[in-house]
Amino acid sequence: MSNEHTLFLENIPAYAIGALDAPETGALEAHLRTCETCRAELAAYRALSDNLLVTTPPRAPSASLRRRLRGQLPSAQRTEPRRRSWTLGQWALGFAVLLLLGLNLFALSQVLGLRGQQARLSRQLDSAQAALAMLSYPGTQNLSIQADNVAGRLLLDKDQGTAVLVLWDLPAISQDKTYQIWLIDPNGDRTSAGIFRPETGGRFSMETITLPQDMSKFSGIGVTAEPAGGSDQPTGPRLFKIDF
């Protein structure tokens, strides 16, 4: 017992700083419950270590020490990837690639623009040809359009089911608006016959109108300004209306 006590007493400093392994810790704690002397020894060590903690506040290491320590960390031992430096040739190549990319985008936008222009011209040509053909038919009605803001002609062939609207000095409208053509029956009911925008740059607009098979129930035609995409029924201001 006495020998055992001495052994435990020697272990107390290590136990006080948590340096004993698990079996030794268990045995010492069992002994502490029975031995007043060892408990007093432990209390003394605890007081001492607490005082040490209080009397020596933690200090930040100096910058040079920190640098030296950090240099010894494994992460600092890895070689840094060498920074890539571009030669003049590589810069020139990169610039050329960017330039080509830009030129391609420019060309693409030009092609798209031309394609849109081509589609508009093609539509105009179709309308012009339809107008010429209609003027040569004896059955074509050639009606005058006179309104406050616009003048023109309506070429109408009810039997063939085609009509061409020719309008001079059509007022420009904003991008969120469109002109809409309405066929009007004797009761005043309107049926949409398509939408169109004024030709840009031209003095007159030609619009081919596809008519329904049975034109006998309609007695007039009109055009209003509507929100882009058109409306089910006229909602905007009327450009003109004529009877036929």
Query: DSSP characters for 66-81?
Result: HHHHHHHSHHHHSPPP
C-beta of 29 vs 126, nearer to Zn ion: 29
Looking at residue 68, its amino acid is R
The structure tokens 């060498």 sit at 82
Closest CA to 131 of 219, 209, 31, 212: 209
Write each residue from 181 to 220 as x if it is in contact with Zn ion (CB under 5 A), else as -, in one continuous string.
Answer: ----------------------------------------
Q: How far is the CB of 27 from Zn ion (least distance, A)?
A: 11
Looking at residue 98, its amino acid is L
Residue 241, judged by CB atoms within 10 A of its CB (0-12, 13-18, 19+), counts as middle
Q: Which residue has its beta carbon closest to Zn ion? A: 35
What one-character DSSP code corresponds to residue 140? -
C-beta of 28 vs 221, nearer to Zn ion: 28
Q: How far is the CB of 47 from Zn ion (least distance, A)?
A: 18
Enumerate residues 90-109 that contact Zn ion by CB under 5 A: none
Write each residue from 29 to 68 as x if it is in contact with Zn ion (CB under 5 A), else as -, in one continuous string.
Answer: ------x--x------------------------------
Binding site for Zn ion (CB under 5 A): 5, 8, 35, 38
